[in-house]
Structure formats: structure tokens, C-alpha cells
Amino acid sequence: MSTISVPEHLWETLLPLIKLDIEPPELQSLLRKHIKSTVEDTSTEVPYDLITGIAKWSGSEKGMDVLKAEDLDPSSYSLIPLLAGTTFAPSSKPPPPPPPEHDPAADKRAITALINGLFSVVGVGFAAWWAAGNIYWRNETRVLLALAASIIVAISEGVLYLIWSSHVEKRKEEQKRRKASKSRSKAIIEEKPVGVEEEVISQDEPQANVVRRKGYEYEKEDASVDS
């Protein structure tokens, strides 16, 4: 059974009808089943047949007389005003698509890149400090050299990581585009190419003319021999 949503303005419009005598009785019982005195107790959805039945009843002479006797506008109970602002079959809508699954391999690659970067920074700093010690530099100079080398390597690792992450994002976008293009290509109906028969006919026509000319010439030759 098709249903529609019941916004507050529709509930306010249908509420006065639960006290009236609506025909047929099945329509009245269906109205009282779904429409209650409070909007909280009212059903979130009502059958579409209920709305069409009320619109049909309000258009009859008896329905108009009953509505006018209660100071209600019969035009407010026609089909279009009743359906205004409603949603058709809200419960039958499919659920929203699930979010994309998280790829644990991407986290592993990021952690591996971070660990490699830390080892590179520490290793280069220690190598600079040890090399400066072999040439008998002072400890202050050795520390400054180690820090400078570590900072340079850290900046380089950060730049390389940003470049790598940008390439990963581009690959994901390209994969999405490829999937979208494949789905579109499957949806396109293959049509017969136009003009193929015309080209065949146009190619065959000169050959037919040649045959005819040859036949004509052959007939002319036969005619000359007979003469």
C-alpha cells in the first residue's frame, strides 16, 4: 500500500475531520486510526487511499455541505492542497549508501613512512655529530651541525610525504572516474551506425553501372556482329 508522510500542516487540516461523519464508514475509521488528537500520537505515514478518499468526499455535494456547516473550506481538502509538502512513501526509500570502507593498508603505509622518516632524521643527525667529532670539532659545533642536518632531512621527508600523499589521492580519483565511466558505458545502448547501408549501396551502384555498361557494350557488339 502506498503511503505519504504526515507533516504538521496536514495533521492540522485533517484533525477537524475526525469529529465529522464521513462516508463511507471505512474511510472514517481509517482516518481515526491514523489521525489522533495530538501530533505526537498521529501516525508518521498515512495510506495514499485515505487522502484520495477524503479529496473525493470533499468534492461531493454532501461533503461540501458538511464542511461548510463546520466553517471549513472544501477547497482545502482537494487532492493538491492535501498532498502539498508531503513525501511519497518515505519508509520505502533506500537507506543512504554506507561510507567507504577504511583501508588499513593505507594506515600501515603512513606509519611505515613516518618511522622511516624518524630513523632518517636521527641517523643523519648522529652521522653528522660523529663525523664532526672525527675532525675534532667542539661539542657545541657538533650539536649545531647535527641539528641542522636533522632539520634539513626532516623538511625533505615532509615534502616527500606530501608528494606521496597527493599521488595517492590522485590515484583514488582516477579509480573513481574509471568506475564511473565503466558504469556509464554499460548503461549506454549500442545503436546501429547510421549510413552503413547507404555507403554499401553507394559503393555497389557504380559496380552495377559498370556491369550494365559492359552488358550494353556487349549487346552492342553482338548487334554489330549480327548485322
Instruction: Name the residue range of residue 64's domain.
Output: 1-82
Whether 220 maps to a domain, the answer reads no
> Per-residue pLDDT for the chain (227 aa), expressed as one digit of tens each?
678 888 888 888 898 888 888 888 888 888 888 898 888 888 888 888 888 999 899 888 888 988 888 888 888 888 888 888 887 766 655 556 666 666 677 778 778 888 888 888 899 989 988 988 888 888 888 889 889 999 999 998 888 888 888 887 888 788 777 877 766 665 554 444 444 443 434 444 444 444 444 444 444 444 444 44
Structural domain count of the chain: 2
Whether 219 maps to a domain, the answer reads no
Asked if 42 and 108 sit in the same domain, the reply is: no
φ and ψ at residue 195, rounded to 5 degrees: 95, 0
Asked if 60 and 109 sit in the same domain, the reply is: no
Whether 15 maps to a domain, the answer reads yes
CB 24 within 8 A of CB 50: no
Asked if 181 and 107 sit in the same domain, the reply is: yes
CB 123 within 8 A of CB 75: no
CB 92 within 8 A of CB 4: no
Asked if 19 and 69 sit in the same domain, the reply is: yes
Whether 171 maps to a domain, the answer reads yes
Asked if 77 and 109 sit in the same domain, the reply is: no
Cα dihedral 6, 9, 10, 14 sign: positive
Break the chain down into helix, strand, coil percent, rounded to 5: 75, 5, 25
Mind listing the pLDDT tens digit for each residue in 70-103? 888 888 888 888 888 887 766 655 556 666 666 6
32 sits in the region (left: phi over 0; alpha: psi -120 to 50; else beta) called alpha
Mind listing the pLDDT tens digit for each residue in 117-137? 888 889 998 998 898 888 888
Whether 204 maps to a domain, the answer reads no
Asked if 120 and 69 sit in the same domain, the reply is: no
Asked if 127 and 171 sit in the same domain, the reply is: yes
Alpha-carbon dihedral angle through residues 9, 10, 12, 18, given to the nearest 10 degrees = 180
Whether 2 maps to a domain, the answer reads yes
How many CA atoms does the CB half-sphere of 190 hold within 13 Å? 1
Asked if 74 and 111 sit in the same domain, the reply is: no
Asked if 108 and 160 sit in the same domain, the reply is: yes
The three three-digit cell numbers of residue 85, written as one number: 509538502
pTM of the model: 0.42
